[in-house]
Structure 1
Amino acid sequence: MELASNDRSIAAFTMLGHGVVHWFELAIPILLVVWLDAFDVSVAVIGLVVALGYAPFGLGALPAGVLVDRFGPKQPILWCLTGMSLSFAALAVAPSIYAVALCLLAWGIAASVYHPAGLALISTGVEDRGTVFAWHGIAGNLGIALGPFATATLLLFFEWQLVALALAVPGVVATAYGLSADFDSTAAVDDTPDDAGGSGRSSLVSDSKSLFASSFLLVFSIVTIVGLYYRGVLTYLPEILQGLPAMAGVALPAGIEELSLGDYFYVGLLVAGMAGQYVAGKLTRRMPVARGLVVVFGALAVLAVVFIPVSGLGLVAVLVYCAVLGFTLFAIEPFYQEAVAVYTPADSRGLSYGYTYLGMFGLGALNISFGGFLLEYLSLTAFFLSLSVIAVAGTAVAWRLITAPVGQAAPAAEADAASSDDD
């Protein structure tokens, strides 16, 4: 089905924004290596500097959600794109590692605004939410893949300061498009809230109590569980793949011998994830989101359990496994994003997505340290079993969501869920 004009405009704007956010995010680790030499600092110092950028990216999602509910979603996205672009442009004239730290801190604060604002805009302005959520996720994956690729390639020919300046260009382009884009950010909402885009919202505390007294508590738990699985897999899988016996002794083409075959498999996982996002986005219009979450969590639990036996079956088996894992891991994204839209009222959608990405990027990051502990002191088997347990917990919570009252869902979403149950 062809998207309506308003849906297309919002899709283009949010896809540009999402791609640019992750373009910047994944360029930073490549620049990190250059900064080590350029400023003659230790790995510990550079790690702290980079953390100053990444920490507010997750922790700032909640206040960003409040900002979105107060001013509407479009203006905060424009502020986000402008702030990120200026932060990277400022890197070009950073005279010290301290200045780099300030630039990254500014980037993280600006970047934290995007997910609550972009997803709130889709949820209130788009009729075909599932499809646009899917394309939105695909754009994010493109940014994840192209950001480090472009950075590494440009560094072969130019100084890092000029590269940082060049990396800001897509952000400027996205900002320019947003300034000219014309769309209705509340087109999918039956009744526009009296205070939408204005002042006078109730307090953060009372709004939060209202949200968590509803079925959103289950949705928040689900998203946090997704974050734990997501961060655990994507943080350590490249290193795990590199150490597999199936990867040993494979000759790579001349000129790229320094790259690991596991890195190519990892890129393949991200590409398969784009397909997963698209298919799942379409499925959100054909099945209740809670049931979709149960299915995907169940598949992730199985995939975690079978990694060890599959990894011993050879190169082709590992490649197929990575494709299936990527498809499944990213297929869950449209389902949980749609769940937020179904189980929350439109006038607190920014706050809802703020909590969502606090759970995803903030609490989910806890599995980086826990997963590292399991790999360092226990075993690879223990690591994947822990991922399976996490996915089983997600299945249980999603199953509970099936029987939970829709509560604060929009009437249309409630009717859709009821009709699906009757079928």
Structure 2
Amino acid sequence: MSRDRIHFLFLNVGHFLDHLFMLIFATVAALKLRHDWNMSYAELIPYATPGFIAFGLFSLPAGWLADKWSREGMMAVFFLGIGAASVGTALASTPLEIAFWLFLVGAFGAIYHPVGIAMVIRDGAQNGMRLAVNGVWGNLGVGSAALVTGFLIDHVGWRSAFALPGLVSVALGLAYVAFLRSEPAHERTARKAAPGGGGAAVENLGNRSLFYVSAVIFFTTMVGSLIFQSTTFALPKIFEERLGSLGTSATTVGTYAFLVFALASMAQLVVGYLVDRHAVRTVFAGLAVLQIVFFLLMPGLIGVPALIVALAFMLAVFGQIPLNDFLIGRLSKSEFRARALAARFVVAFTAIGLAVPILSWIHANWGFDRLFHVMAIGAALILAAVVTLPRFAPRTHVQPAPAE
């Protein structure tokens, strides 16, 4: 296997771990701590808010450091830091201690998206499929959080759900550092000397059009992130309430959540293929329509119908994830890309941080049916925004790019 492929594998595994760590607490709170600590689900989940806010706010300094210092160095900090913070979470004995350690998990987790995604995107290449493959790994991390956490809760204990993945991440961080140090000196010199060019603004957009497209990207990022976080964070609890006899333990609930997330993540491969060949506006709008339809179908469903419709709306939610990154890859030059992505992820993860208390408030007062109605409204707002985008021509060829 070439060094480029090994490096891409490290980036993909990093995306997997990033999403896994950010959602471990969702399953622990829903299935275990509410019994052990005698607190309701609505009372527990706000303690995850500091972590999700840090996940957004620290994206900008992470992107700046990556562009100014080293993208590879920041990825090493990511693996080591988020792993150590997760091990610390396993040692927490009060809600405030958990909030503190989750804040650190979020702060180190913030590194991945502006840095790792910037390394995935290649100038002059058909990036749709690269982003799609990387996105599948991230979504498998989302699904594995429920599966792995549920299994460890039932067989070892909730603390192991934080400690074991944390130790794995630290080990991977050490392996990544060793991989970087093994790079031949002439390859390292050539890579650092390579120009960052390429990636000029698509279709030579004027300042006004560029500003408008950027505004659409940030708006759809904000609303889409609220939808993504609400659905992924709440799905284990939704399944506990709605699956009835299908979900009789933490392991079975986690298994169903993993299967839905894993199958839904495959939508990104289809979307990656489509955006390399068709207008991103058309693909974006189609996914928004599917979200509206399936969110409106979900209220009142239980058992197998609830499972099927949940899979359907998660297909549309996950399929939409790489589209804004794809647009930024088309609009930004390599030397500024980490900062451009960081700005998007500040918006995304700030919205994600807000989604948790909003979810808590809606669930405590009206239940999940009202949440599905709110999500349908959000998808309609995304649809209204993306239909106004210009029609970007797909790239029909791939130019070779040096390894990051």
Q: TM-score, normalised by structure 1?
A: 0.74
**Could you tell me which residue of structure 2 aligns to residue 135 of structure 1?**
133
- The answer to whether the 8 A contact 2:139-2:318 is kept is no
- What is the CA deviation profile of residues 227-255 of structure 1, one whole-angstrom value per residue up to 9, with x for unaligned ones? 122233334444445445xx45x4x5xxx
**Could you tell me which residue of structure 2 aligns to residue 176 of structure 1?**
174
Moved more, 9-18 or 364-373: 364-373
Q: TM-score, normalised by structure 2?
A: 0.77
**Could you tell me which residue of structure 1 aligns to residue 373 of structure 2?**
385
CA distance in 1, matches of 2:261, 2:354: 22
**Could you tell me which residue of structure 2 aligns to residue 28 of structure 1?**
25
TM-aligned CA distance change 1:171 to 1:294, over 3 Å: same
CA positional deviation for 1:113: 0.9
TM-aligned CA distance change 1:223 to 1:99, over 3 Å: closer
**Aligned mate of 1:80, from 78, 81, 102:** 78
- What is the CA deviation profile of residues 86-135 of structure 1, one whole-angstrom value per residue up to 9, with x for unaligned ones? 22344566687766554433322111111111111111479442222122
Query: Are 1:344 and 2:341 an aligned pair?
Result: no
CA distance in 2, matches of 1:259, 1:41: 18
**Could you tell me which residue of structure 1 aligns to residue 103 of structure 2?**
105
CA distance in 2, matches of 1:211, 1:352: 17
**Could you tell me which residue of structure 1 aligns to residue 295 of structure 2?**
304
**Could you tell me which residue of structure 2 aligns to residue 216 of structure 1?**
214
**Aligned mate of 1:327, from 291, 315, 318:** 315
- What is the CA deviation profile of residues 149-178 of structure 1, one whole-angstrom value per residue up to 9, with x for unaligned ones? 334434555576666443223212332342
**Could you tell me which residue of structure 2 aligns to residue 402 of structure 1?**
390
CA distance in 1, matches of 2:344, 2:74: 17
**Could you tell me which residue of structure 2 aligns to residue 353 of structure 1?**
341
- One-letter code of the match for 1:319? L
- One-letter code of the match for 1:276? A
TM-aligned CA distance change 1:65 to 1:211, over 3 Å: farther
1:191-270 → structure 2 map (5 Å cutoff): 191-192=195-196, 213=211, 215-244=213-242, 247-248=243-244, 250=245, 257-259=248-250, 265-270=256-261
**Could you tell me which residue of structure 2 aligns to residue 204 of structure 1?**
none
Same amino acid, percent of matched pairs: 17
- The answer to whether the 8 A contact 1:61-1:112 is kept is yes
- One-letter code of the match for 1:289? V
- The answer to whether the 8 A contact 2:85-2:105 is kept is yes
TM-aligned CA distance change 1:239 to 1:95, over 3 Å: closer
Number of matched residues?
A: 379
Q: What is the Cα-based RMSD across aligned positions, in Å?
A: 4.0
- One-letter code of the match for 1:17? G
Unaligned 5+ segments in structure 1 are: 195-208, 407-413, 418-423
**Aligned mate of 2:272, from 281, 290, 308:** 281
TM-aligned CA distance change 1:56 to 1:288, over 3 Å: same
Query: Are 1:294 and 2:285 an aligned pair?
Result: yes
CA positional deviation for 1:353: 1.4
CA distance in 1, matches of 2:95, 2:341: 33
- The answer to whether the 8 A contact 1:7-1:127 is kept is no
**Aligned mate of 2:10, from 7, 10, 13:** 13
- One-letter code of the match for 1:305? L
CA positional deviation for 1:185: 12
Give SS of 1:109's match: helix
**Could you tell me which residue of structure 1 aligns to residue 402 of structure 2?**
none
Structure with bigger gyration radius: 1
- One-letter code of the match for 1:354? A
Higher relative contact order (CA 8 A, sep 6+): 2
Moved more, 46-55 or 227-236: 46-55
Unaligned 5+ segments in structure 2 are: 199-206, 397-404
Query: Are 1:67 and 2:71 an aligned pair?
Result: no
- The answer to whether the 8 A contact 1:272-1:324 is kept is no
CA distance in 2, matches of 1:104, 1:382: 28
- The answer to whether the 8 A contact 2:18-2:141 is kept is yes
